[in-house]
Amino acid sequence: MTWSKLKQQLESFLCPALYGRVEYRSTSYRYLPDKAGICYIAVDKKNVLNMRDITTLIRWYQTDLEIKNDSDIQIPINNEEIEAVRQDTKGIVPEDRLIVIARSRKISEYAKELLSAQSSLSKSNFNVVATKYLSTSIEESLESNDILLNILALVDRRVGKKRILNLTEKMKLKHPIVQYFYELRVSTL
């Protein structure tokens, strides 16, 4: 599919409040078929997402230690996770340490997922992911670990107010760029 047709289809799914504010831009290399194109998503004429550039407005993590030390990340822990730690430690660890261990385990898993999503985003071809988005359901795109699929689904007009508001807890565990687009969409409600 040509870029102009793909862009037209993506923009036709934009939420009315974001139409004109969110723009999709992409470059490709005609004479270098093995080199993927570059994706830009602009909000209010500012490049918010540039898949090849870490100097964007959104924080990009270089190591899992950066994620673990980021005070902005709040990882919710439930009783099942605490019980799993209690069983692993055979009940000899104090209660307050169980919460710390459970949170540490969960943030380690989160860090691995986040770095994996970032690396796949930087290697992906925007056209391929956008075409995949157009052929999959909104639910799959929202549940996906692919950052770009999440962003495209969040700005989609087919995602209603109730569904957006129900995603609040899930968005806390997503990459900061996905959280940015979530906040952008919530601000239009």
- The mean pLDDT value for 47-66 works out to 61
Q: What was the pLDDT predicted at 96? A: 82
Whole-number Å distance between alpha carbons of 164 and 138: 12
Write down the domain spans for the chain: 64-116
Residue 55 has pLDDT above 60, yes or no: no
Could you report the per-residue pLDDT of 117-140, keeping only the tens digit for each? 666 565 456 777 888 888 999 999
For residues 166-177, one letter each, b for 16 or more C-beta atoms within 10 angstroms of the residue's C-beta and e for the rest, the string is ebeeebebbbbb
Q: What was the pLDDT predicted at 53? A: 46
- The mean pLDDT value for 33-60 works out to 65
Whole-number Å distance between alpha carbons of 148 and 21: 18
- The mean pLDDT value for 34-47 works out to 73
Q: What is the DSSP letter of 16?
A: G
Structure tokens at 59: 């924080």
Mean of the per-residue pLDDT values of the chain: 78
Residue 163 has pLDDT above 50, yes or no: yes
